[in-house]
Structure 1
Amino acid sequence: MGDVGAVTSWRVARSMPLLKIVSAAALLLIGYGLAGGDPVTLGLAVLVAVVLLGWAVRDIVVPVRLAVDEDGVTVVTGYARRRHLPWDRIERITVDTRPRLGLRTETLEIDAGDSLHLLGAYDLGAAPADVAATLQAARRVAAGDPPG
């Protein structure tokens, strides 16, 4: 973080919304082909496709999930709202690592006392541990401590 006034942000990969839209279209085509007149099968395919499309729309409308500047961090909450958290409101920045299905998953946790913000590698487009290190360095710089 060379310039303290600079904003650094992390976003969903640009290819993800397109992948979700293509997957929704493929699901509809496959569901229509497999339904054979069964309204339940077709309805289920439509429901899952709508959920995928909604998820893709969120990625298009709010691609930046986390930003940091000298005043604090801005996170996305809910479907598409942004919330700015000043440094003095942030109690902890940690990374939770857990094994799941034979893989290791990391989640960035930003604890603001009254709220907990969880962001994974998908949301950040980067490793949560790397993002946490950047946030902690920015926090030190904002507090007047030397980085590192």
Structure 2
Amino acid sequence: MPPSPPARQWRVPPVLPAVKSAGALVLVALGLLFTGDDPVPLVLAVLTAVVLLGWAARDVVAPVRLAADADGVTVIRGFAGRRLLPWSAVEAIRVERRTRRGLSAETLEIDAGESLHLFGRYDLDAPPEEVAEALHAVRAAAS
């Protein structure tokens, strides 16, 4: 039996949860600064900050967004769950490039038939093109 290829993981950049948390604090500070007699700006700032902190919490609780080994690809599911997609279930791995308003974005797409999993650069802390190449290499080594 040939040795299995080493597992690869891609995760959120470590600084991202801190940036999101700092952004939440700035929002609350701005809400306090501009409240005056009207509490609506503060309420909106606090609600937005709570959402941003929840997003940062997800980055801390489940930093690994994508992993690949001989068994298949493990993707994040829900807030912090995981789902293993066996290589036989993965129909396509591709990078989608889009340009809108002068800005270009790349998204890694993993098509598993009934489900489509999308990952951006900040989900992977690597260019989606490099991750796609690595996934193809792990898949080829596993077959």
State the TM-score, normalizing by the size of structure 2. Answer: 0.95
Per the alignment, residue 74 of structure 2 pairs with: 74
Give, in whole Å, the separation in 1 of the partners of 2:89 and 2:137: 16
Q: Which amino acid aligns with 2:135?
A: L
**How many Å apart are 1:108 and its aligned residue?**
0.4
Per the alignment, residue 32 of structure 1 pairs with: 32
Give the gaps of 5 or more residues in structure 1: 144-148
**Identity of aligned pairs, percent?**
55
Residue-pair matches, total: 141
Q: Deviation digits for residues 34-92 of structure 1, max 9, x if unmatched?
A: 11131211111011100110000000000000000011110001211100000000000
Per the alignment, residue 146 of structure 1 pairs with: none
1:141 and 2:141 are equivalent in the alignment: yes
Question: What is the Cα-based RMSD across aligned positions, in Å?
Answer: 1.1
1:80-91 alignment, distance < 5 Å: 80-91=80-91
Equivalent residue of 1:126, what SS? Answer: coil
> Structure 1 pair 101/4, CA: closer, same or farther in 2 (3 Å)?
farther
Give, in whole Å, the separation in 2 of the partners of 1:42 and 1:122: 29
Equivalent residue of 2:98, what SS? Answer: strand
Equivalent residue of 1:35, what SS? Answer: coil
Per the alignment, residue 128 of structure 2 pairs with: 128
8 Å Cα contact 2:106-2:128 kept in structure 1: yes
1:5 and 2:23 are equivalent in the alignment: no
Equivalent residue of 2:139, what SS? Answer: helix
8 Å Cα contact 1:4-1:138 kept in structure 2: no
**How many Å apart are 1:104 and its aligned residue?**
1.2
Per the alignment, residue 95 of structure 1 pairs with: 95
Equivalent residue of 2:22, what SS? Answer: helix
State the TM-score, normalizing by the size of structure 1. Answer: 0.92
Give the gaps of 5 or more residues in structure 2: none
Q: Deviation digits for residues 19-40 of structure 1, max 9, x if unmatched?
A: 1111101110111111113121
Equivalent residue of 2:141, what SS? Answer: helix
Equivalent residue of 2:114, what SS? Answer: coil
